[in-house]
């Protein structure tokens, strides 16, 4: 249940409980007040009746006295007798009503009943005495006075006691009711205080359960997540450091292996027999394959960590396809495969990173060659879809095909559909994962269709804008050539300062460049490089980065601090190929960045490019 719902329900329950308690206390207090008002009203009525009866009784006695004192006149006597009887009836009526109201006061009721008896007796005595009354004869009047003298004292005393009892009963009842009301108030306060305290405790408990514990749990989970993220970050850093170290350690010996095999294969170290040429070629091919595996692992790491950055450009589609097909051409020729190419005339340019686009196509074309039997067919189709704004690169083959239930595993890194020790096809399982990751970096996607025994078709669908398809947007350098062209002649030897702490690489690069006509000075550390760079000034410096003592970055900074060397091109020649390594080299003051191992022809072409650029700039400055 959500925290908000728990709080709302808890508050509703607390408010309902307090409301019920308040209503109960209010009801009890209202009852006490009503009872008090009722007692006051009843006692006031009783007191009024008692006092009224007392007044009428006294008037009755007074009328009797009027009869005795002024009854000589027959008319007056008749009027006094009439008033006497009227007061008698009124007194009796008041007493009867008073008896009804004295149900809760037995003592006063008994007094009232005795009064009624005494009052009735008094009436009879008065009437009996009245029979002796003779207005003209005083002697009977004395008899009458003697007979009734003092008989009104008992009723008068009884009536006084009734009034006193009514007053006392009123005070007693009021005191009892007020005491009960105070007790109700006290209990109401106690209950309300207990409920408020309980409510506060319940609210604290509810807040703790509904908010405190979830927050504590969330905080604990957050701490665990932070700890896990820190562990993951440390693991990722350790992985990056491991990959960087392994890449450097693997690239360093590969540089010598590939460089020397290339030099020997080109015959620069002397003629080779056919068997020697075959052995050198196998060494070079396997070294190149190992380099490709290293590059795939690094690229997969960059894609997974989001550190692969694309160099966006408008890439000519025909040149891209031509360069990709040229790379897989020898392998297809060895298996006698038919290669079909069809490019939509609308598809002139595609926006992307030319190197990564070529890498994706070569990967899929290489798989097509690998999984297609000898004599089969492979193909590359490029189709533009202006309505969807997509450009589709389709790579198909007539190979073994892929079961449909295996499609989901195709693009998972390090996953091979056939992982048996006796599998027919080798590989690391990185190629398709790389293709998928790089297609996503291009805001595209990869699709596959396949049927076992009939072949497969992979499609790379990339965003495409028909409005950009203009010939004047083409650039000559968007697709890197697979091989450097012919020899680049020089008028005078190039002075090359080669800096590398690995003796094998230092010897191999120096030998090749000297064979190509360069004047090479070699330095095995940064301090030696600074000393050799002073005189004569080199045309170009090839700088290793990871060296003991003073690394290549610090060496470059010190060389740049010398005004005479600020214009000398410094090219990083390093086995560091992780994300950020290129930027570090350029920030230190280097002009270009090459990763080992690399083709010696590529190295020579890069040196030629920078020497030509600096000499042209120097010639312009002199002119």
For the stretch 210-231, pLDDT in tens is: 677 778 888 889 999 998 888 8
Cβ-based burial of 95 (10 A; exposed 0-12, middle 13-18, buried ≥19) = buried
Please give the DSSP secondary-structure letter assigned to residue 152: T
In the predicted model, is pLDDT for residue 7 greater than 70?
Answer: no
Q: Where is pLDDT greater, at 103 or 87?
A: 87
Structure tokens at 596: 């080992």
Structure tokens at 513: 């460049």
C-alpha to C-alpha distance for 412 and 261, rounded to whole angstroms: 35
* pLDDT for the residue numbered 335: 92
C-alpha to C-alpha distance for 379 and 507, rounded to whole angstroms: 44
- For domain 313-473, give the fold: Heat Shock Protein 90 (3.30.565)
Confidence at 527, pLDDT banded by 50, 70, 90: very high
Alpha-carbon dihedral 437, 441, 445, 450, rounded to 10 degrees: -30
Q: Give the helix/strand (H/E) hosting 449.
A: strand 445-451
In the predicted model, is pLDDT for residue 422 greater than 50?
Answer: no
CB atoms within 10 A of CB 482: 13
β-strand 495-499 against 540-543: which pairing, if any?
parallel
In the predicted model, is pLDDT for residue 150 greater than 80?
Answer: no
Ordered by start, the domain boundaries in the chain are 3-199, 313-473, 495-622
C-alpha to C-alpha distance for 534 and 289, rounded to whole angstroms: 40
Q: Where is pLDDT greater, at 44 or 271?
A: 271
* pLDDT for the residue numbered 369: 94
Confidence at 12, pLDDT banded by 50, 70, 90: confident
For the stretch 460-511, pLDDT in tens is: 999 998 887 654 444 444 434 333 333 444 447 899 999 999 888 899 889 9
* pLDDT for the residue numbered 333: 93
Do 463 and 314 meet the contact criterion of CB atoms below 8 Å apart?
no
Lowest mean pLDDT across 154-168, 268-282, 417-431, 530-544: 417-431
CB under 8 Å to 243, separation ≥6 — which residues?
297, 298, 301, 578
* pLDDT for the residue numbered 143: 65
Class of the CATH-defined domain 495-622: alpha beta
CATH architecture for segment(s) 3-199: Up-down Bundle (1.20)
CB atoms within 10 A of CB 149: 10
* pLDDT for the residue numbered 420: 40
Lowest mean pLDDT across 275-284, 357-366, 426-435, 508-517: 426-435
Q: At what angle do helices 153-207 and 3-70 cross, to 10 degrees?
A: 170
In the predicted model, is pLDDT for residue 619 greater than 70?
Answer: yes
C-alpha to C-alpha distance for 509 and 574, rounded to whole angstroms: 13
Confidence at 586, pLDDT banded by 50, 70, 90: very high
Share the mean pLDDT of the chain: 81
* pLDDT for the residue numbered 146: 67
For the stretch 378-417, pLDDT in tens is: 999 999 999 999 999 999 999 988 888 888 877 777 665 5
Q: Where is pLDDT greater, at 566 or 2?
A: 566
C-alpha to C-alpha distance for 79 and 568, rounded to whole angstroms: 155
What does 6-30 look like in DSSP terms, one character per residue?
HHHHHHHHHHHHHHHHHHHHHHHHH
Tell me the range of 15-29, 88-102, 164-178, 481-495 where mean pLDDT is highest: 88-102
Distances (CA, A) of 229 to 224, 301, 561: 8, 18, 42
Please give the DSSP secondary-structure letter assigned to residue 468: G
C-alpha to C-alpha distance for 152 and 147, rounded to whole angstroms: 12
Q: Where is pLDDT greater, at 421 or 322?
A: 322
Which SS3 state, helix, strand or coil, does residue 392 take?
strand
Nearest Cα neighbor of 307 from 581, 601, 519, 622 is 581
Distances (CA, A) of 446 to 191, 299, 352, 361, 449: 74, 18, 15, 12, 10
For the stretch 530-570, pLDDT in tens is: 999 987 889 999 999 999 989 999 999 999 999 989 889 99
* pLDDT for the residue numbered 488: 40
C-alpha to C-alpha distance for 358 and 139, rounded to whole angstroms: 161
* pLDDT for the residue numbered 473: 46
* pLDDT for the residue numbered 4: 64
390 has which bridge partners? 385, 463
Confidence at 42, pLDDT banded by 50, 70, 90: confident
Whose tokens are 């006031």? That residue is: 44
Q: Where is pLDDT greater, at 242 or 453?
A: 453
C-alpha to C-alpha distance for 32 and 324, rounded to whole angstroms: 103
Q: Where is pLDDT greater, at 191 or 454?
A: 454
Confidence at 3, pLDDT banded by 50, 70, 90: low
């Amino acid at each position: 249940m959500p925290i908000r719902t728990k709080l709302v329900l808890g508050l509703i329950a607390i408010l309902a409980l307090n409301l019920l308690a308040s209503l109960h206390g209010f009801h009890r207090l209202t009852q006490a007040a009503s009872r008090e008002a009722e007692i006051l009203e009843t006692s006031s009525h009783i007191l009024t009746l008692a006092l009224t009866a007392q007044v009428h009784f006294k008037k009755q006695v007074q009328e009797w006295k009027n009869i005795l004192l002024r009854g000589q006149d027959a008319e007056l006597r008749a009027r006094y007798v009439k008033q006497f009887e009227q007061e008698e009836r009124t007194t009796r009526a008041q007493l009867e009503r008073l008896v009804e109201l004295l149900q809760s006061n037995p003592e006063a009721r008994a007094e009232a009943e005795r009064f009624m008896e005494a009052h009735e007796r008094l009436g009879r005595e008065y009437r009996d005495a009245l029979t002796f009354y003779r207005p003209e004869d005083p002697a009977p009047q004395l008899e009458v006075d003697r007979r009734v003298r003092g008989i009104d004292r008992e009723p008068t005393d009884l009536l006084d006691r009734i009034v006193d009892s009514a007053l006392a009963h009123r005070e007693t009842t009021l005191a009892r009711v007020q005491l009960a009301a105070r007790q109700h108030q006290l209990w109401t306060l106690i209950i309300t205080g207990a409920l408020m305290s309980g409510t506060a405790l319940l609210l604290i408990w509810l807040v703790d359960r509904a908010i405190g514990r979830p927050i504590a749990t969330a905080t604990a989970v957050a701490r665990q997540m932070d700890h896990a993220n820190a562990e993951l970050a440390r693991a990722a850093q350790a992985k990056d450091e491991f990959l960087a170290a392994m890449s450097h350690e693997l690239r360093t010996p590969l540089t010598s292996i590939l460089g020397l095999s290339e030099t020997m294969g080109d015959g620069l170290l002397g003629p080779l027999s056919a068997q020697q040429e075959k052995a050198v070629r196998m060494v070079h091919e396997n070294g190149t394959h190992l380099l490709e595996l290293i590059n795939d692992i690094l690229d997969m790491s960059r894609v997974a960590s989001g550190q692969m950055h694309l160099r966006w450009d408008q890439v000519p589609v025909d040149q891209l396809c031509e360069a990709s097909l040229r790379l897989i051409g020898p392998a297809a020729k060895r298996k006698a495969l038919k290669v079909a190419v069809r490019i939509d005339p609308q598809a002139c340019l595609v926006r992307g990173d030319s190197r990564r686009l070529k890498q994706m196509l070569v990967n899929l074309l290489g798989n097509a060659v690998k999984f297609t039997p000898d004599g089969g067919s492979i193909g590359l189709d490029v189709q533009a879809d202006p309505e969807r704004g997509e450009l589709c690169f389709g790579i198909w083959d007539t190979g073994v095909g892929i079961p449909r239930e295996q499609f989901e595993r195709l693009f998972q890194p390090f996953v091979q559909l056939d992982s048996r020790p006796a599998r027919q096809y080798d590989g690391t399982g990185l190629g398709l994962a790389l293709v998928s990751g790089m297609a996503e970096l291009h805001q595209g996607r990869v699709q596959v269709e396949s049927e076992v025994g009939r072949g497969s078709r992979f499609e790379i669908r990339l965003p495409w804008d028909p409005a950009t398809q203009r010939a004047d947007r083409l650039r000559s350098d968007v697709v890197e050539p697979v091989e450097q062209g012919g020899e680049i002649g020089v008028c005078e030897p190039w002075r090359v300062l080669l800096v590398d702490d690995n003796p094998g690489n230092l010897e191999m690069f120096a030998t090749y460049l000297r064979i190509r006509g360069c004047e090479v000075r070699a330095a095995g550390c940064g301090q030696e490089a600074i000393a050799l760079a002073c005189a004569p000034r080199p045309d170009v410096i090839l700088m290793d980065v990871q060296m003991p003592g003073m690394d290549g970055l610090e060496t470059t900074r010190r060389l740049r601090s010398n005004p005479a060397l600020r214009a000398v091109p410094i090219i990083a020649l390093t086995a560091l190929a992780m994300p950020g390594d290129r930027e570090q080299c350029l920030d230190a003051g280097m002009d270009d960045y090459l990763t080992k191992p690399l083709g010696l022809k590529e190295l020579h072409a890069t040196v030629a490019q920078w020497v030509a650029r600096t000499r042209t700039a120097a010639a312009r400055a002199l002119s």
